[in-house]
Structure 1
Amino acid sequence: MSNVRLAVIYYSTYGTNYAMAQEGAAAAREAGAEVRLLKVRETAPESVVAGQAAWKAQAERTASVPEASAADMEWANAYLFSAPTRFGTVASQMRAFIDTLGGAWQGGHLANKAVSAMTSAQNMHGGQESTLLGLYTTFMHWGSIIVAPGYTDPSLFAAGGNPYGTSSNMGALSDETKAAVRFQSRRLVEFAGKIAS
């Protein structure tokens, strides 16, 4: 058992980032971390969600997943974020959650904790890299320690070669993407353990 308490925090409209978060959580547990899998609150109007069958189905499938809170952020000593890109930046639901963390940030509760991020878009080059870099800018403001996967494992090249974090096209995850997520999560747990010791 490691000394890592990992909050895997995701937003997923249709299920891609939920699948990535699940994969990352499983790999972290296998690496010995204590893991909380958490979603951020949906901010789109209920009528909009209900008007799109796939969006509504995903919301119903994950109704029992707890919502992330500032208390979860304070509990954790490592974070793995996963959310889709929207017009080159992270989905507004994730930004809305981040915007609730001012008190935790001001209290120093987000500093000196390992963090990594993943994303997806409808197509390759749909804003994945700028989304991850934008999230990392926020994490730098927190004083968190960014643990990007870099080019440190062959799985990253097989999954598309994004050194900032695993990124996927929308839809079912390929075996290559799953392998990259699992590597990124294990790497995060490894460095989180070193930071926490």
Structure 2
Amino acid sequence: MAKVAIIYYSQTGTTHLLAKAVEDGAKAAGAETRLLKVKETAPDELWGNNPVWKQHIEETSGIAEATNEDLEWADAIIFGSPTRYGLPAAQMKAFIDQTGALWAKGALTDKVGSSFTTTATQHGGQEATILALNTAFYHWGMIIVAPGYVEPSQFQSGNPYGASFTSNNGKLDPDEVAITAGKLQGRRVAEIAARLKGA
């Protein structure tokens, strides 16, 4: 059984919903999972004046924040972030930036890594964000597993890099195509991590 950590940042809930689909896919493959959020670093006066942002923070207050211990625990790590100008959200980057001690001792070497994202608009930086997240995996010596075009459903989602969704500026929740892509990614990561663990 693979241990899979799904670590995400979500401002309004879109990426959170996709993260849950990824977790469902990993569980369907028999993985033990941890669904974790990264710490909110935006000042209270910023998110406190945004009712949707504030509501999401309150609704997910029961989800634990990711730590370095979670990264060490996992056989596979799946990052999820909304895009910010074609890059991961600063909150996710802040989490990645505090992993230096793990990197220095090689604690993440040979684990499986994968990434997914959401954007407000079409062509809003989905592939660029996933590739940026994957860059950390290269530095950590991890093995990147992408969904690819391994099933017919992927020709609907059209993103072999990782599950993604366009929310139309937060007006839409992930649709069935995106949920299917998320489940496939979670399942595929869990299956390959289990094979590597048993090799």
Q: Normalising to structure 1: TM-score of the pair?
A: 0.96
Q: Secondary structure at the match of 1:154?
A: coil
Q: d(CA) in 1 for partners of 2:12 and 2:154? A: 24
Q: d(CA) in 1 for partners of 2:144 and 2:73? A: 18
Shift of 1:105: 1.1
Q: d(CA) in 2 for partners of 1:124 and 1:166? A: 14
Residue aligning to 2:197: 196
Matches of residues 121-160 of structure 1 in structure 2 within 5 Å?
121-159=119-157
Residue aligning to 2:180: 179
Question: Percent of counterpart pairs with the same letter?
Answer: 45
CA root-mean-square deviation: 0.8
Structure 1: which 4+ aligned runs deviate by more than 4 Å?
none
Q: d(CA) in 2 for partners of 1:84 and 1:108? A: 28
Shift of 1:187: 0.6
Pairing 1:163–2:156 present: no
Residue aligning to 2:25: 27
Q: d(CA) in 1 for partners of 2:174 and 2:119? A: 12
What CA deviation, in whole Å up to 9, does each residue of 1:109-150 have, x standing for no partner?
Answer: 111001111001101110111111111111101101000111
Q: d(CA) in 1 for partners of 2:165 and 2:3? A: 26
Task: Tell whether the 8 Å contact from 1:23 to 1:178 is kept in structure 2 after alignment.
Answer: yes
Q: d(CA) in 2 for partners of 1:148 and 1:43? A: 29
Shift of 1:47: 1.1
Unaligned 5+ runs, structure 1? none
Letter in 2 for 1:186: R
Q: Secondary structure at the match of 1:38?
A: strand
Q: Secondary structure at the match of 1:98?
A: helix
Task: Tell whether the 8 Å contact from 2:27 to 2:187 is kept in structure 1 after alignment.
Answer: no
Q: d(CA) in 2 for partners of 1:96 and 1:121? A: 20
Unaligned 5+ runs, structure 2? none
Task: Tell whether the 8 Å contact from 1:156 to 1:166 is kept in structure 2 after alignment.
Answer: no
Match of 1:14 among 12, 15, 25: 12
Match of 2:111 among 110, 113, 123: 113
